[in-house]
Structure 1
Amino acid sequence: MIEQVRIENLGVIAAADLDLAPRLTVITGETGAGKTMVLTSLALLLGRKADPALVRSGADRAVVEGTFVVAPDGPAAARAEEAGAVVDDGELIAARTVPASGRSRSHLGGRSVPHAVLTEVGEQLVTVHGQSDQLRLRAPSQQRAALDAFGGTEHAALVEAYREAWSAASNAREELRAWERAVGAREEEIAQLRTGLDRIDAVAPEPGEDVALREEANRLGNVENLRAAAGRAHQSLTGGDDMTGAPDATTLLDDARRSLDQSAADDPALAGWAERLAEASYLVSDVATELSSYLTGLDADPARLEWVHERRAALADMARDHGGEVDAALDWAERARRRLADLDAPEEVAERLREAVATAEAELDRAAAALSESRRSTGDRLAAAVGSELAGLAMPDATLEVRLTPLEEPGPHGAESVELLLAAHPGAPARPLGQGASGGELSRVMLALEVALADAGTSTGTTGLTFVFDEVDAGVGGKAAVEVGRRLARLAERAQVVVVTHLAQVAAFADRHLVVTKHASAEQITATDVVAVDGEDRLRELARMLSGQEESDTALRHAAELIERAGVQR
């Protein structure tokens, strides 16, 4: 909602602060006092076009600043923060500066932003119904959303079921189309997979074979060096022919162990070391035995070495496309065979996809039929509710029609388009909203719609929104004027409402009453003030609106009676 608006040097307004009520605020004043400038200030905050001619004579710029109360997790706050604005404890400050010459500037939450950002944020917060601002519910998408919102929770479940069904059918169709488009690519993929598998199958590698052959090649290619190293080690451990007379490692370890055993009774620590030396002796003996066996089997085999080289070359060539590793090639081959199993049965896959499409479309048809039927009944209820409201707004012969036009094929939002039409008079053709009705009539139609939607508990009437009405009371008076005020008060139970009015019967319902007055300064410069009135001041303003004489006792009594009756009727 709008908490406060500050205006500087806009038209005839030199400076004014507007504190708006959370519920119904009315703005009154004599013709020409400057009520239009109040609405213009709101339009500027909503990103509308700025005209330098709006700047007050003698000033270099006009400034409008507004404080909005927003839900921290709502779409308005999200869009503002996306633009770099700061939302401080649920408050969002918007500002518009219009220079006497040059381009206007917009600020939101302390950041300079394009005018379009003010518009996008404002659309989430404020709806203006005026002679040139009957924008709400004009677009078919907004009319469809309003109808669906009016339907309630059961209807909302049908809308969601349809959306899910439409999404599932669209995905199923796209999967089938993708399969059909890929026929040529599928054949090419099959050929590539089979070529790769043939190369691997021709070599028939074993897991880890390349690693094992690399080790064998190293061994066969260095037999002499290996034999010399192993022989020297064996002689050092066992005392071979080349080391005659030299003690071998096993003998030395045994001598050391026996020496410790002899004195172990005197110190237990020696027994522990002796045990460890025994283990070392066993280990050295095992190594010596294994070295002997290794030397026996270590023979040069040129033929085997040649075969190993050839095999390694074949494996490397086969695995070149797989990082040069046999295991990677085998993993690819396993995946390729699974993929071929799918590709080699195209008709089975295609049939499965066609069945999925048929199932999804059947479900979509069921969901569409249920939603269409619910929309027809919801449309009848909405038309009746709006008609009832219009009867009390001096438009008893006006009727609202909710027209559902079947689409050639279901879309993402249903199987029909939704259009709200108005027949302003008996026998008049039903025409789109905004056509065939005056500005005042259209404002009352919009009021009737907003009240009907709000009474249904829809999202269009929840706390946080602001509705601005201008000319809603044009062409009405008497009892009809009271009904306009009563309906504005009803709407204000669920949303903030700001209305510019010249009828006391409407103003009597206000929670806050602002009066726009003009006066001439000593320099004969006309200026306008906006002040909140209450008590006796409010009675005098209502009396002025009733009779043009704010001091008339009769008018004052009538004003007091209006306020009392308004309180009762709310």
Structure 2
Amino acid sequence: MIEEIRIDDLGVIGRAQVRLAPGLTVLTGETGAGKTMVLTALSLLLGGRADPATVRTGAPSAAVEGRLAVPDDAPALERAREAGAEVDDDGTLVVLRTVTASTSEQSGRSRAFLGGRSVPQGVLAEIADELVTVHGQAEQMRLRSPSRQRAALDAFAGTDHAVTLAEHRAAWAERAQVRDELDGLVSRAQDRAREAELLRLGLAEVDRVAPQPGEDVALAEEADRLGHAEDLRAAAAGAHTALVGDEDATDTVSAAALVDEARRQLEHGGAHDPALAALAVRAAEAGYLLADVATELSAYVQDLQADPARLDAVQRRRAELGTLTRTYGADVDAVLAWATSAAERLLDLEGGDERIAALRERLVALDARVEDLAARITGARSRAAGELARAVTDELAGLAMAGASLTVDVRPADEPGPSGADAVEMLLVPHAGAPARPLGRGASGGELSRVMLALEVALATAEGSHVPGTFVFDEVDAGVGGRAATEVGRRLSRLARTAQVVVVTHLAQVAAFADQHLVVTKSVADGVDVVTESDVRAVTGEDRVRELARMLSGQDGSATARAHAAELLAQSVGR
């Protein structure tokens, strides 16, 4: 339910607050007083398109804030929480919409807020679809659409039918997905076979060469060592001589001898100074380290041999590995990684025939399921069509369309779709003896208004059908007058027993049935029309009689009009 709307700088409205109550609320007022702007504000709150031209002249922006009371079990409440909105403990949602005026410096922008959190406009529209149904001239035109007529019939058919519809849509979507995947596999069969053959050849080559992790790096180091064996021997021998001296030369001084001399000198001085004694220990350790290095150098020189045969084998192996790294990776490790992924891909490709068979089997099962669900949908629609036609026809009789009748035709569609295999068309007989004509071609604006209202009443009273918490009607009484107008008011009042109903009307016969009657007027400030806080007010008692009299005759002071207004109010009490 919509509890309250605050409007700032929208059209002729400077600042206004509209409090809405349960039951039937009507908004009335002179033409141009701002009733339309109230509906525009409501449209903004419900995710409608923002038009910068609606910002009040001279104002930088317009703002509309609303409070919505949402039932605890409503899906809209969960959707709001998913969007990050904060919900009051009593289930109240605060919605805010701002629209920036379009100027030479900037284009008009709109922002939406839900429960204190900035959200896309589409989130408001999702929540509105669940909570509010808006009917205006545009909605009447959409009622001419076969898809809208089918949606109305589906809504009337109840919750079990809605579940079947949802299952059909899901099965239809899955079938389309399976068919696309199957077509892709079949059409790419040759490409897959070609790719699989290339992978087999590559894996066979890798398996033949059998590279080992890091092998290319180790072989490169070995080839470098074998190719410079003589240089390495000379370097090792020279280092060995420097450390331990040349056995054939008596006048050479070795590093080991010099270090040993340093140790002896330090040990001698260490007898008198602990610092030198500590250094003597470190000199001794250096001597041991030099001796170890000399030993390893000696062994290295003895083991190092020029081996042309081994060098040739290493170079051949490196060339063999190079054939792999040029094709499958930058180094041997990359080649091995490619082989792992290629093997997995080959398993997937070789399993393509099994996947095709599985998809074909699944497609057969989905075809059967879609066909079964579509048949159940057709049956439910056919049963509901007669009931809906009778319910609407009964309502039309009460709306001063005696002799009028509605037929709901369910027939096979040219092409089945996600919503089933049916085409639904509503045909109206406007009066006795007239031919049945599709709503899309034969109904006038006034007839459409009453058919739409009759549909809503029928849907609201149907067992198991979903009824939104709020209905908003604009121009529902277009082309209607006299007794028909009274019956429109009566039906709106009946609808208001199960939902909040907000109506903008210019007919006193409709307004007389209201539980709450709001009048919108406008003032003049600085020579400009404006609606302020005091210009949207609830009228009761004599004030309401005066407003109804104005609507009847254009003169609220007419005694005749006032008497007629009082009579309308008295008649509406029984409803």
- Find the aligned partners of 1:168 and 1:158 in 2 and give their Cα distance: 15
Contact preservation (8 Å) 2:477, 2:505: yes
| 1:411 corresponds to 2:452 | no
C-alpha distance in structure 2 between counterparts of 1:282 and 1:427, whole Å: 126
Alpha carbons 2:263, 2:283 under 8 Å: kept: yes
The one of 376, 380, 399 equivalent to 2:405 is 399
Task: Indicate yes or no: 2:321 matched with 1:315.
Answer: yes
Going from structure 1 to structure 2, the CA distance change for 1:448 and 1:279 (only over 3 Å counts) comes to farther
| Structure 2 equivalent of residue 22 of structure 1 | 20
Question: How far is the alpha carbon of 1:277 from its aligned partner?
Answer: 9.1
Secondary structure of 1:404's counterpart equals: strand
Whole-angstrom distance in 2 between the partners of 1:220 and 1:414: 80
1:494 match = 499
CA distance in 1, matches of 2:159, 2:256: 92
| Aligned positions of 1:470-509 closer than 5 A | 470-472=476-478, 474-477=480-483, 481-491=485-495, 494-495=499-500, 497-504=502-509, 506-509=511-514
8 Å CA contact retained: 2:506, 2:551: no
Evaluate the alpha carbon distance shift between residue 308 and residue 39 of structure 1 in structure 2; reply closer, same or farther with a 3 A threshold.
same
Contact 1:387/1:398 (8 A) holds in 2: yes
Q: Which residue does 1:361 correspond to in 2?
A: 367
- The residue identity in structure 2 corresponding to 1:304 is R
Instruction: Establish whether residue 210 from structure 1 lines up as the match of residue 216 from structure 2.
Output: yes
**In structure 1, what is the Cα distance between the partners aligned to 2:472 and 2:260?**
99
Deviation at 1:395, TM superposition (A): 2.8
Partner of 1:469: 475
- Counterparts in 2 of 1:258-337, with a 5 A limit? 290-337=296-343
Moved more, 415-424 or 168-177: 415-424
- 1:372 maps onto 2:381 in alignment: no
C-alpha contact 1:250 1:284 (8 A) present in aligned 2: no
Q: Equivalences for 1:336-351 in 2 at 5 Å?
A: 336-344=342-350, 347-351=353-357
Residue matched to 1:156: 162
State TM-score, norm by structure 1. 0.69
Is the contact made by 2:61 and 2:101 (CA closer than 8 Å) also made in structure 1?
A: yes
Structure 2 Cα separation of the partners of residues 107 and 402 of structure 1? 44
Q: Cα–Cα, structure 1 residues 547 and 342, in superposed 2: closer, same or farther, change >3 Å?
A: closer
RMSD: 5.4
Deviation of the 1:249 alpha carbon = 5.5
Alpha-carbon offset, residue 319 of structure 1: 1.7
Q: Which 10-residue stretch deviates more, 138-147 or 279-288?
A: 279-288
**1:243 shift after superposition:** 8.5
Q: Give the secondary structure class of the aligned counterpart of 1:403.
A: strand
Q: State the alpha-carbon separation in 2 of the partners of residues 429 and 368 from structure 1.
A: 31
User: Could you tell me how far 1:325 is from its partner in structure 2?
Assistant: 1.4
| Counterpart among 420, 431, 437 of residue 425 in structure 1 | 431
Task: Give 1:148-187 correspondences, 5 Å limit.
Answer: 148-187=154-193
| Alpha carbons of structure 1 residues 67 and 331: separation in structure 2 relative to 1, 3 Å | closer
Cα distance in 1 between the residues matched to 2:256 and 2:449: 111
Determine the C-alpha separation between the residues in 2 that align with 1:209 and 1:64: 72
- Deviations for 1:88-111, whole angstroms, at most 9, x for unmatched residues? 9623255999xxxxxxx9955489
How far off is 1:27 after superposition? 5.3
- 1:320 CA drift (Å): 0.8
1:501 partner amino acid: H
Compute the displacement of 1:300 (Å).
0.9
1:445 CA displacement = 0.9
Gaps of 5+ in 1: 10-14, 53-59, 79-87, 98-104, 112-116, 519-526
SS at match of 1:461: coil
> 1:294/1:357 Cα in 2 relative to 1: closer, same or farther (>3 Å)?
farther
State the secondary structure of the residue aligned to 1:241.
coil
What SS is found at the alignment partner of 1:328?
helix
1:535 correspondence with 2:541: yes
Give, in whole Å, the separation in 2 of the partners of 1:92 and 1:407. Answer: 42
**Is the Cα–Cα contact under 8 Å of residues 34 and 516 in structure 1 kept in the other structure?**
no
Instruction: Check whether the contact 2:175–2:363 (CA below 8 A) recurs between aligned residues.
Output: yes
Stretch deviating more after TM superposition (532-541 or 165-174)? 532-541
Instruction: Please name the residue that 2:86 is paired with.
Output: none
Amino acid at match of 1:355: E
Residue 451 of structure 1: aligned partner: 457
Cα distance change, pair 224–534 in 1 and its aligned pair in 2 (3 A): same
How does the TM-score come out when normalised to structure 2? 0.69
Could you tell me which amino acid in structure 2 is paired with residue 335 of structure 1? S
SS in 2 for 1:471: coil
- State how far apart, in whole Å, the 2-side matches of 1:153 and 1:271 are: 96
Check 1:173–1:335 CA distance in 2 against 1; reply closer, same or farther (3 A cut).
same
Give the AA of the match of 2:338: W
Question: Does 1:144 pair with 2:150?
Answer: yes
- Matches of 2:369 and 2:326, distance apart in 1: 51
The answer to whether the Cα contact below 8 Å between 1:450 and 1:460 also exists between their aligned partners in 2 is no
Aligned partners of 2:374 and 2:421 also within 8 Å: yes
CA distance in 1, matches of 2:555, 2:548: 9
CA distance, structure 1, for counterparts of residue 11 and residue 343 of structure 2: 77
8 Å CA contact 1:509–1:567 kept in 2: the answer is: no
Q: How far, CA to CA, are the matches of 1:19 and 1:412 in structure 2? A: 44
Compare 195-204 and 66-75 and name the one that shifted more: 66-75
Find the counterpart in structure 1 of residue 136 from structure 2: 129
Q: How much does 1:128 deviate?
A: 4.4
Contact 2:489 2:509 in 1 (8 A): no
**In 1, Cα distance between equivalents of 2:263 and 2:395:** 115
Distance in 2 between residues matched to 1:438 and 1:212, nearest whole Å = 91
Cα displacement (A) at 1:170: 0.9
Alpha-carbon spacing, 1:510–1:240, altered in 2? closer, same or farther (3 Å): farther
